Amino acid sequence: MTDASPPIRRLADWDHDQLLDIAAEYDTPLYVLDPSRVQENYRRFSAAFLDAHVMYAAKAHTGQAVLSALLEAGADIECAAAGELQRAIQAGADPDTLQYTAVNPPDRDLDYAVDLASDHPGFTITAGARDTFDRLESRGYDGRVAIRINPGIGTGHHEKVATGKDAKFGIPYDEVPEVADDVRERFDLVGIHAHAGSGVLHDDLDDHCRAIAKVAEMGREVAGAGEGLEFVDFGGGFGVPYREDEEPLDMDVVGEKVREAVGDLDAQIKLEPGRYVVADAELILTTVNTVKETPAATVVGVDASLATMIRPAMFDSYHPIRNITAPEREDYPVAIGGPCCTSADVFATDRPVARPEREDVLAIGNCGAYGYELANQFHSQPRPAEVAIDGDDVRVVRRRETMADVTRVEDEAEIGSASAESDR
């Protein structure tokens, strides 16, 4: 049975008085992270899959506070880029436990991974293209590898995350046995890997399990044709409810369905939750600066933007929004957007919110997954600070950028250019 922590944290469950104090002290826009919630989510997921090796998919949130909390909870880390490997090691991960899932990896990423493996033979590289295996061999690598396969079934909340049917990801399913024979001759083939999609809830669960069953079947075929496999990695993809009327997954039921889909498998089952672990453990605080009445809509301007969190603009994602300054006010339909000069910079349209007024603080929920990870400097906006809460204690885990940070790489380039000129 899973543990007793609630399966989803809604905006109303956060301490509004504490959030208002935090906004006043640390300014907005601001990310607020609860590392203990990250650990609760990881433990709940792991309890539903006691027979599996659960690795956190770092790409959802690579913040040191998140990675450190998960390592403390006993999690291993799966990384999709060299930078994620470096951040995981910096947070305290043992490189021999890391798994690197390469997707069209740049040369510098492969160089980093191969160099890391030279001192850490337990490190595993997953590749999804024949060409990537050739590039590894050309670097003298002959260590642990897994083959990423494409099951031809994509699932998830948006077509842009349905990786299981996207040709970009993995070896075509019918080609896997042939590729496995070739890979075995050159490397230590320890596993196969697949990831069908992201944000899977009840409606997508059956399709997700069909993809899992297909991957498991290929695992049995590949294992039977050689000396077995150490693991079959089914990726992550399990979602959380972003909308208030959506129900969270019952992880005990999900665990049963996944085990049924896998069937008999003489290899370790691996799973890589990302979104499920971090999504509801973080929110954004933002301050209202403009309220504009128009014939089309009441437009509420805030200091957060698509540079703070791009998911609504990129995926048309829904995030709950709550006026924590005055939640008792009557709900009123508003459009909420930021200061960027594009119509995409909108967090909500025609959304009932306790009627906002200038200087009110709004909370945007479920921002832990791919929130700060996709933050950017559009319009030369410095990226926001991030604080972590531990009961009544609050600490800055990522300081707010300044304009000097935004221009530093250019300033340093000019300094470097001037130094080179003076050396001539």
Q: Would you call 367 a catalytic residue per the annotation?
A: no
Confirm or deny that 220 is annotated as ligand binding. Answer: no
Confirm or deny that 416 is annotated as ligand binding. Answer: no
Query: Residue 293 has which token pair?
Result: 């009445």
The three-class DSSP label of residue 296 is coil
**DSSP code for 336:** E
The secondary structure element, H or E, covering residue 222 is helix 202-225
Distance CA(73)–CA(353), nearest Å, equals 37
Confirm or deny that 273 is annotated as ligand binding. Answer: yes
Give backbone dihedrals phi and psi of 157, rounded to 5 degrees, phi first: -85, -10
Where does residue 122 fall: left (phi above 0), alpha (psi -120 to 50 degrees), or beta otherwise?
alpha
Confirm or deny that 26 is annotated as ligand binding. Answer: no
Distance CA(375)–CA(368), nearest Å, equals 12
Question: Contact at 8 Å (CB) between 273 and 45?
Answer: yes
Cα atoms in the Cβ-side hemisphere of radius 13 Å centred on 240: 26
- Give how far the C-alpha of residue 169 lies from the chain's centroid of Cα atoms, to the nearest Å: 17
Confirm or deny that 370 is annotated as ligand binding. Answer: yes
Confirm or deny that 83 is annotated as ligand binding. Answer: no
Where does residue 162 fall: left (phi above 0), alpha (psi -120 to 50 degrees), or beta otherwise?
beta
Question: Contact at 8 Å (CB) between 239 and 315?
Answer: no
Distance from the first to the final alpha carbon of the chain: 71
Query: Residue 21 has which token pair?
Result: 């104090």
Distance CA(144)–CA(121), nearest Å, equals 8
Q: Which of 79, 340, 341, 367 is catalytic?
A: 341
Of 364, 360, 405, the C-alpha closest to 381 is: 405
For the chain, what's the residue count?
424
Alpha-carbon separation of residue 152 from 92, 161, 211, 311 (angstroms):
36, 13, 8, 26
Confirm or deny that 311 is annotated as ligand binding. Answer: yes
Residues labelled as active-site residues? 341
- Output the known binding site for substrate: 275, 311, 370
Residues annotated as binding site? 237, 272-275, 311, 370
